[in-house]
Amino acid sequence: MPLVQVGGRQIETRLIPGAATGCPPLVFLHEGLGSVGLWRDFPDRVARRVGAPALVYSRFGYGQSDGITGPRAPDFMHREALDILPELLDTLGFHAPILIGHSDGASIALIHAASAHRPVTAVVAMAPHVFVEPITVESIARAAETYETTDLKARLGRHHARVDDAFLGWSRIWLDPRFRTWSLARECSALATPTLVIQGEDDEYGTLAQLDAIAEVARGPVKRLVLAKCGHSPHRDQPDAVLHAIGDFVHSVTHRLKAT
């Protein structure tokens, strides 16, 4: 995958060409253990569905990107959304994107849309985190034990050049007592961008209270989709339903843009 310099360090990227439909570019923001490769073909399917170019990238510590430079701090998602992502978008010439994020990536998308003071056309937030719930901490603690006692590290190592950076960088900050008070309440109340929020009824890392916390205070329109028989990864558990919902949402947003 092409490597792009951000802050003097290398980030793994994948660019998906798009048809000349006038649809804003898509940017995919992966989960806490994700990467370019772990999105599989989902970004391609979305890009074809809406007729747009797309950027998929691995954050530092993930995939083939450079590693993290030290333990993550409680503001790590803000630093991604407000420092790294803007520089990456400018480097690649991506303007007014539609941000499609999953889990931590959905939180980063919400922060960027609400607080980066840059144009964002729309946000799709799948299984977002906007505050810390006991279910999230408990599930991550179980995953950390699994990482230490099973072959999970070896399996993740097939996708991450620096697997400890990926897993421990994620799990340790989420399990850090300092992170318990982390919240995007201010960002949610400032969110003016059209937003589609998606979550599974069986999400093992969060409850539907996450979606409520966004919809109840956002300044812009929030469309909500809750999927049955679906866990923390809607795009893997219910890919056709998610693809259909994103396609309809993007078309409605771009139609309104063309009408203005």
Residues 34-68 have pLDDT tens digits of 999 999 999 999 999 999 999 999 999 999 999 99
Which of the four pLDDT bands, split at 50, 70 and 90, describes residue 258? confident
Residue 84 pLDDT exceeds 90: yes
Number of domains, the chain:
1
Dihedral pair phi/psi, residue 151, rounded to 5° = -90, 15
User: What does the pLDDT read at residue 185?
Assistant: 98
**For residue range 11-30, what is the model confidence (pLDDT) as tens digits?**
999 999 987 668 899 999 99
* 177 DSSP 8-state letter: G
Model pLDDT for residues 181-214, shown as the tens digit of each residue: 999 999 999 999 999 999 999 999 999 999 999 9
pLDDT surpasses 90 at 102: yes
Residue 4 pairs in a beta bridge with 11
Q: Using 50, 70 and 90 to split pLDDT, how confident is the model at 256? A: confident
Of 15, 7, 13, 77, nearest to 47 by C-alpha is 15
Q: What is the CATH number of the domain that holds 182?
A: 3.40.50.1820
**What does the pLDDT read at residue 211?**
98
Question: pLDDT class for 257, splitting at 50, 70, 90?
Answer: confident
**Taking the CA of residue 36 as centre, how many other CA atoms within 13 Å lie in the half-sphere pointing to its CB?**
21
3-state secondary structure of 183: strand
Mean pLDDT, the chain, as a whole number? 96
The pLDDT, as a whole number, for residue 54 is: 97
Determine the pLDDT at residue 1: 63
Does residue 216 carry a pLDDT above 80? yes
Q: Judging by beta carbons within 10 Å of its beta carbon (0-12, 13-18, 19+), is residue 163 exposed, middle or buried?
A: buried
**Average pLDDT rounded to a whole number, residues 78-98:** 97
- Answer whether residue 254 shows pLDDT above 80: yes
Report the distance separating Cα 100 and Cα 209, nearest Å.
20
Instruction: Provide the pLDDT for residue 20.
Output: 61
Find the domain containing 33 and state its range: 3-259
What percentage of the chain has pLDDT greater than the value 90?
Answer: 95
Banded model confidence at residue 106, pLDDT cuts 50, 70, 90: very high
pLDDT tens, 117-155?
999 999 999 999 999 999 999 999 999 999 999 999 999
Beta bridge partners of 126: 102, 198
Distance, in Å, from the CA atom of 115 to the CA atom of 186, rounded to the nearest integer, reads 9
